[in-house]
């Protein structure tokens, strides 16, 4: 379901400022399914999921709760 992380300049800035990660996901999945899978994979708490369909691809903006820094997950995935 979660295909790959997006590592643009905007995505890296969002990690630092908003505690938000950006992933490309499959179009057929809802926000609740994305949230559940992300929490199961990374063992963190998600505050909010926003989605955007752009050029036939679905992007998920995953905002983590304050006790779970997004920089830790980004480092594990090699985004930073």
Confidence label for 52 from pLDDT (cuts 50, 70 and 90): very high
Give the count of domains, the chain: 1
**What 3-state DSSP class applies to 69?**
coil
Confidence label for 56 from pLDDT (cuts 50, 70 and 90): very high
Q: Which two tokens stand for residue 64?
A: 């983590």
Distance between CA atoms of residues 5 and 48, nearest Å:
17
The per-residue pLDDT for range 20-48, each reduced to its tens digit, is 999 999 999 999 999 999 999 999 999 99
The range of the structural domain enclosing residue 34 comes to 2-77
pLDDT of residue 80: 81
The per-residue pLDDT for range 59-73, each reduced to its tens digit, is 999 999 999 999 999
49 within 8 A of 31, measured Cβ to Cβ: yes
pTM of the model: 0.93
């Amino acid at each position: 379901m979660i295909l790959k992380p997006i590592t643009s300049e905007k995505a890296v800035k969002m990690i630092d400022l908003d505690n938000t990660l950006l992933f490309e996901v499959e179009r057929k999945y809802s926000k609740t399914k994305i949230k559940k899978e992300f929490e199961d994979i990374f063992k963190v708490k998600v505050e909010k999921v926003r989605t955007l369909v752009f050029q036939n691809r679905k992007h998920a903006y995953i905002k983590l709760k304050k006790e779970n820094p997004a920089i830790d997950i980004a480092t594990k995935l090699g985004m930073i």
